Amino acid sequence: MTQNLARYADHTLLKPEATQEDVRATIAEAASLGAYSVCLSPSVLPVEVPDALKLAVVIGFPSGKHHSAIKAAEAKLAVEQGADELDMVIDIGAAVAGEYSRVEDDIRAVREAAPAPTILKVIIESAALSDEAIVAVSRAAEAAGADFVKTSTGFHPAGGASVHAVELMKQTVGDRLEVKASGGIRTRETAEQMIAAGATRLGVSSTRSIVEDAEPAGDY
């Protein structure tokens, strides 16, 4: 590979029991590993992040069952407090019910509250959706102006990322949006499978074990 696996990584700390000390340690680890970003909960902001790291913040996490106005306000505040990227959770129930216009409106509310250059990733909780819903929600994210579609929160009992979901999302958005795989990615093998399927970013908390297990194996 020409790039270190860590450069795909949004090094993540979203445990509800995380302390500010944990946050500082996670930021330091992300920087030392050469991760692309550190992904944190909004309540831990503001935080100091090295210039080499992007700061990603989750919005409406993990249920997505927040009013769109609340998600928008949370997004706006996160950007004001230094966030470069936002990972928002859709209303998963609306997607399950086929109410895709509601999903699109929800995403658009956050996009309008945090316009470019802030990067907006849309968490669709793919393991809880049918293939039809994955395609429709990915299209809604594109229509609403998102930059990424993302598989999972990592908190849903239905599971996390799958190669099938990443492939389907990539087929749907093409090169117009990027795809982030997140949830259950703990090994080099799984990380490389997600990248091969079309993911350009990985949401991982096990970045160190993935990176330290990684050996040069050709280009991605």
Active site residues: 87, 150, 180
Q: Are 86 and 55 in contact (CB under 8 A)?
A: no
| Full DSSP string of 38-69 | EEE-GGG-S----TTSEEEEEESTTT--S-HH
DSSP three-state, residue 14: coil
Identify the bridge partners of residue 134 per DSSP, sorted by sequence position. Answer: none
Cis omega (within 30 of 0) for bond into 115: no
Residue 37: closest CA among 186, 173, 217, 180: 180
Judged on CB neighbours under 10 Å (0-12, 13-18, 19+), 219 is exposed
Please report how many Cα atoms fall inside a 13 Å half-sphere around the Cα of residue 184, on the Cβ side: 17
